[in-house]
């Protein structure tokens, strides 16, 4: 935690008070030549991350404090303080913040994905203007489609059937310039 405090000093922290999340990019892909990026996150207990997968990057979660339960592929997992979990590309995963302690962890994305970095910040900042539901989902389907498609987040299970529609909605939103509007208003590049 001391190292995280050192390397995150002076970097912006993006908060979603409705969900009780605070995110800080402590290393961006631009800084690492695209090799990886590191996100320090604090989540309130009970946070849920829906079943999804990524095709372009792996995720490694390094837990400092708290407990996450969930699934990676076909196995149930429990990640506690001092442990880590690796999610390879194309592996369905989901998370639930268990217990009553704030979750503190670093998420490593390898290789770095600029879209994931940008749209996660955008989503956090949209929440402050009331553009998301209390669980963090964007209120407008076009916003959600852009965020999912541009950050390589693919819904799993029955929601996977919506993938073609999400791609169409994201393309339409880009043609209308909605992506640029959201970026200009809510994305604060470091």
Please name which of 11, 6, 29 lies closest in space to residue 151, comparing C-alpha atoms. Answer: 29
For residue 2, what pLDDT band results from cuts at 50, 70 and 90? confident
Q: What is the mean pLDDT of residues 73-83?
A: 96
pLDDT (0 to 100) of residue 183: 94
What region, left, alpha or beta, does residue 23 occupy, with left being phi > 0 and alpha being psi -120 to 50 degrees? beta
Q: Which residue has the higher pLDDT, 16 or 118?
A: 118
For residue 190, what pLDDT band results from cuts at 50, 70 and 90? very low
Q: Per-residue pLDDT for 100 more than 80?
A: yes
- Are the CB atoms for 79 and 68 separated by under 8 Å? yes
Cis peptide before 111 (omega within 30 of 0): yes
What is the per-residue pLDDT across 32-69, written as a single tens digit (0 to 9) for each?
999 999 999 999 988 899 999 999 999 999 999 999 99
Q: Which domains does the chain have, with CATH numbers?
A: 2-186 (2.60.120.10)
CA distance 152 to 57: 9
For residue 128, what pLDDT band results from cuts at 50, 70 and 90? confident
Q: pTM for the whole thing?
A: 0.91
């Amino acid at each position: 935690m001391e190292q995280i405090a050192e390397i995150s000093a002076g970097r912006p922290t993006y908060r979603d008070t409705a969900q009780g999340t605070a995110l800080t990019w402590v290393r961006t892909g631009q800084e690492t030549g695209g090799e990886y990026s590191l996100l320090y996150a604090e989540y309130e207990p009970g946070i849920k991350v829906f079943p999804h997968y990524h095709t372009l990057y792996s995720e490694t979660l390094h837990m400092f404090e708290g407990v996450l339960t969930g699934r990676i592929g076909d196995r149930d997992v429990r990640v506690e303080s001092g442990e880590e979990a690796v999610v390879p590309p194309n592996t369905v995963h989901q998370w639930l913040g268990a217990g009553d302690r704030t979750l503190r962890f670093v998420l490593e994305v390898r290789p770095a994905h600029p879209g994931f970095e940008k749209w996660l910040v955008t989503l956090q900042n949209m929440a402050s203007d009331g553009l998301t539901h209390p669980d963090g989902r964007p209120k407008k389907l076009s916003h959600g489609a852009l965020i999912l498609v541009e950050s390589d987040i693919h819904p799993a299970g029955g929601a996977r059937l919506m993938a073609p529609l999400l791609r169409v909605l994201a393309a339409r939103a880009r043609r209308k310039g909605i992506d640029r509007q959201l970026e200009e208003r809510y994305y604060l590049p470091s």
